[in-house]
Amino acid sequence: MARLLIRFTQGPFSNAKSQDGLDFALAATNYGHEVKVIFENQGVLQLVKSASIKGLKNHTKRLASMPFFDIEECFVCKTSADNYDIDHVLANIDLLEELECEWINAAEKLALIQSVDHVVTF
């Protein structure tokens, strides 16, 4: 099957793209696709643990379920994290540790994109 890279580029609650991207990633594994994810731009904010919001699925818990769907290659753009001062915002890095995210720079991100068959951006 295909190797997919899902790029999370939107914040978790600004629109439905982050939820749609996660739904797409989880569904793709059901069809036998190898899925890798990268959090970049505002998407790094999805890694900030948040409480449930009435009427919305808990995005943090859903992200934490990715390893159960065999999504084990998870990357965080270091430049984006620096732009959002994510080290300060992510005082609680439990989600990063649960997902075993790797920090990558621009050159590594380009190599990652070139290593997959398809890139889908949300």
Query: Among 17-26, 29-38, 63-72, 78-87, which is the least confidently predicted range?
Result: 78-87
Q: Are 10 and 122 in contact (CB under 8 A)?
A: yes
Band of the pLDDT at 90, cuts 50, 70, 90?
A: low
Taking the complete model, does pTM exceed 0.85, yes or no?
yes
Give mean pLDDT, residues 32-57: 80
